[in-house]
Amino acid sequence: MPSPLLLIALGLVGLQVWSALSTLALSPLARVGGGCRGPRRGPGEVEFVVVTKAVPGVMDALREVLESLSRRFPGYRVWVVTDHDSPCLETLSLWRAELGFSLVVVPRAYGRGRYKSRAIQYFIDYYVDEDKWYVFLDDDSYPLDDGFLCEVSDDVPVYNGHIYPRRGASLLAWLVDGTRYYHSLTRQRLALGILHKPIYGLHGELLIARGWVLKRIPFASDSIVEDTLYAARLIRAGIPVGMVSTRVSILSPNSVVDLWRQRARWQLGVLRDMVRGLYPLPLAVARGADLALWLAAPISPLVWAYVISGLKAHPHSIRLLAALGLALYASFAASHGLVAAREEGPLRGLAKALLAAPILTLVHYLSPIYAAFNARRILGGFTIIDKSRAPPRLAPWRLGPAGPASPVPAVVEVLAGPPQATPLALQRGLGA
């Protein structure tokens, strides 16, 4: 009879293999990209919302997003939502005249929610029309086709798309980010495309929602993973969530350290919200398994060595374990190289992932260690990673005088000002 410790180790190994392989068969079923096929929802039905802190490190990526939306979706209204104290507010007002978006500035006095959820909730309270569709994007993300305009249905009021990372300054970070596309094709396909329940959470990139859902289910919270908490609220409310075929391009971090900071915010934020009892059981189980694998990553080699030594007297078990280990390695390389294979060709992309696999494994192993040493700082505020493509001295929009942002131009104040009537939502407090 195996010892209890060996059974625990076997359970962890099984969880790793199951997580990597269980939904692999779903990937061929996912239709990805290709554009509109059928009736298309027009500018009067769909509006885009880009939420940004507008700090210097994100402005290059934000400019790329706004130019992409202007080019790909002419005639559709684009909102940019930012805070009253955003350092690059004056730059946004200049871009508005050029690119034609509507700028919303969240005032200091608004007290509902924190971090990104505060800006989204302000927009919902004052600007959302219950009969329209709203496409929420981060300041580094934009759709690669318009297929979602033909796919959203009134029967399913919330959708997500397929995450598709584009390369930043770091090859390693881009390869690691390739797993997000793999997860979109597999487990998110299962959760959203088949079960219509966001048991693995949602992502803020290409979050598509009807206005009435946004009005009914509040976004405001004090969470640093506001999209996952919103998935929890949708599950509790029984709101179905679907998946569109559109890929949404996201910018990968420019360094491994930025990647660690980003992942630490996600995982520690999920852990804190889970401990607070904010997740329903299906979401808690699915994300809890993810969290357990992430926390156990640094000791994974020791766990596998212990399992092998404990089963060495059973040749058939060792052979099965070796086959599972090989399948796990192949899945690891394929998931990390999937985007590279699409962008650079199958042979070259997968070769990069296979050659980089030992280093990528080390990146995964060190991620929770980094989070443990920086947990207080990460949980104490909203992490914003640098998304600039050039050193500050070379970025054209940064060539103006340094120092505090200039006063907001009057045209922005007009757009940012809420209606005279104060909404009841403002009276309800945090997370109402």
At 11 the pLDDT is 81
Averaged over 324-338, what is the pLDDT?
82
Averaged over 314-343, what is the pLDDT?
83
At 83 the pLDDT is 95
Q: Residue 386: which pLDDT band, with cuts at 50, 70 and 90?
A: confident
DSSP state of 153: B
Helix (H) or strand (E) holding 408: none
At 400 the pLDDT is 36
Q: Which residue has the tokens 């059973």?
A: 314
At 80 the pLDDT is 97
Contacts of 81 (CB under 8 A, 6+ apart): 49, 50, 51, 52, 104, 106, 119, 120, 122, 123
Above 80 in pLDDT, residue 14? no
Above 90 in pLDDT, residue 331? no
Q: What torsion, rounded to 10 degrees, do the Cα atoms 424, 426, 429, 432 define?
A: 60
Could you report the per-residue pLDDT of 291-307, keeping only the tens digit for each?
Answer: 998 999 999 888 878 88
Of 336, 335, 366, 139, the closest CA to residue 259 belongs to 366
Which range is least confidently modeled, 18-27, 64-73, 128-137? Answer: 18-27
Helix/strand/coil (H, E, C) string of 382-414?
CCCCCCCCCCCCCCHHHCCCCCCCCCCCHHHHH
Above 60 in pLDDT, residue 432? no
At 22 the pLDDT is 63
At 161 the pLDDT is 96
338 or 382, higher pLDDT: 338
Which amino acid is located at 85 in the chain?
D
Q: Residue 328: which pLDDT band, with cuts at 50, 70 and 90?
A: confident
Q: Which residue has the tokens 């005032």?
A: 107
Above 60 in pLDDT, residue 403? no
Above 60 in pLDDT, residue 151? yes
Phi, psi of 422 (to 5 degrees): -80, 125
373 or 397, higher pLDDT: 373
Alpha-carbon distance 396 to 427, whole Å?
43
User: What average pLDDT does the chain have?
Assistant: 86
Helix (H) or strand (E) holding 376: helix 375-379
For 374, left (φ over 0), alpha (ψ -120 to 50), or beta? alpha
Above 70 in pLDDT, residue 101? yes
Alpha-carbon distance 363 to 298, whole Å?
10
Task: At 68, list the tokens.
Answer: 């992409």
Measured from the Cβ of residue 408, the count of other Cβ atoms closer than 10 Å reads 18
What's the pTM value of the predicted model, to 2 decimals? Answer: 0.86
Alpha-carbon distance 379 to 16, whole Å?
27
Q: Residue 1: which pLDDT band, with cuts at 50, 70 and 90?
A: low
At 102 the pLDDT is 96
Above 60 in pLDDT, residue 273? yes
Percentage of residues of the chain with pLDDT beyond 70? 87
Query: Going along 223-328, which residue ranges are E strands?
Result: 241-251
Domain ranges of the chain: 30-254
Alpha-carbon distance 259 to 224, whole Å?
16
Could you report the per-residue pLDDT of 213-231, keeping only the tens digit for each?
Answer: 999 999 999 999 999 999 9
Averaged over 173-198, what is the pLDDT?
93
At 10 the pLDDT is 78
Could you report the per-residue pLDDT of 84-100, keeping only the tens digit for each?
Answer: 999 999 999 999 989 99
Superfamily of domain 30-254: Spore Coat Polysaccharide Biosynthesis Protein SpsA; Chain A (3.90.550.10)
At 389 the pLDDT is 65
Averaged over 243-268, what is the pLDDT?
95
277 or 3, higher pLDDT: 277
